[in-house]
Structure 1
Amino acid sequence: MGDGNDSGKVLDIKTADIKSTAPVFHTQGKNLSTALTTLVTTLDGLGAPWGDDEQGKSFGDAYRPQQRAIEKAAGTLVLGLISIHEAMTDMADGHVDNDELIAGMFTKVQSKDGDDHDRGAK
């Protein structure tokens, strides 16, 4: 899909791929959360560890006014990664449920009179 080779498939969803990929977003969300917590607690504990030299002052002047916005943005990324994990898991489950529903519509069932009837037909 999107590679220029038209296989005739509109959508090729493999639930196994979705289910195997979804946890990566959760893991990376946790890793980013840990890194963010470490950054915040370390910098808050150290005060202004970038120093008093010209580069340190320049960094501090640029970083301090934006510090909370940077932390908030990173927190939003953490929530985004976790929500992608949840959405992919839900999507995979929904895809399986949908496949089963569609398969059920086209399954022949044996009626009491011995004739085959489409399960979804009325």
Structure 2
Amino acid sequence: MSDGSDDGMVLDIKTADIKASAPVFHEQANNLSKALTTLVTTLDNLGKPWGDDKQGKEFGDVYSPQQKKIESSAGILVLGLTSIHEALVDLSDGHVDNDDLIAGMFTKVKPPKGNADSEGSR
């Protein structure tokens, strides 16, 4: 956020940057979800493809008891990436709305014609 120079800027949020970042999280959530589905269905169909040799048994002894936890953790990551995507979309929308609101506060409003309080009737 800061390179050491004090330019007086506290936070510089660019809506375009937020909008550009949001789809990346959506895409990666989809990619991870597909990879998880492939892992689960492939291993379920193959049984124990790591074999009965020493390395295969060592891997199976460690992996098999943790398999459901690994799958669940990857699922949580998918949900996390999806949440970040949704939050960035909401943040972007809110930032634009806030900018419009603030701009409206500083826009000079002209009184309606014929109003006794207008400058033209003084």
Q: What CA RMSD, in Å, does the superposition of the two structures yield over aligned residues?
A: 1.0
Whole-Å separation in 2 of the counterparts to 1:5 and 1:37: 48
Deviation at 1:109, TM superposition (A): 1.1
| CA deviation string 1:21-66 (max 9, x = no partner) | 1000000000000000000000011000000011000000000000
Count of aligned positions: 115
Letter in 1 for 2:57: K
Matches within 5 A, 1:1-122: 1-112=1-112, 113=115, 114-115=118-119
Please give the alpha-carbon distance, in whole angstroms, between the structure 2 residues aligned to 1:81 and 1:92.
17
Secondary structure at 2:88 match in 1: helix
Cα distance, 1:8–1:55 mapped onto 2, change above 3 Å: same
CA distance in 1, matches of 2:66, 2:5: 46
1:100 Cα deviation after fit:
0.4
Q: Tell which has more relative contact order, 1 or 2 (C-alpha 8 A, sep 6+).
A: 2
What is the rounded CA distance, in whole Å, between the counterparts of 1:2 and 1:85 in structure 2? 25
Instruction: Supply the AA of the counterpart residue of 1:84.
Output: I
Aligned with 1:52: secondary structure? Answer: coil
Equivalents in 2 of 1:57, 1:30: separation in Å? 32
Q: TM-score, normalised by structure 2?
A: 0.90
In structure 2, what is the equivalent of residue 120 of structure 1?
none
- Residue 119 (structure 1) aligns with: none
Q: Unaligned regions of 5+ residues in structure 1, if any?
A: 116-122
Task: State how far apart, in whole Å, the 2-side matches of 1:14 and 1:60 are.
Answer: 49
| Whole-angstrom distance in 2 between the partners of 1:110 and 1:21 | 40
Q: CA deviation at 1:4?
A: 2.7
Query: Alpha-carbon deviation of 1:106?
Result: 0.8
- Greater strand fraction, Structure 1 or Structure 2: 1
**Identity rate of aligned residues, in percent?**
71
Gaps of 5+ in 2: none
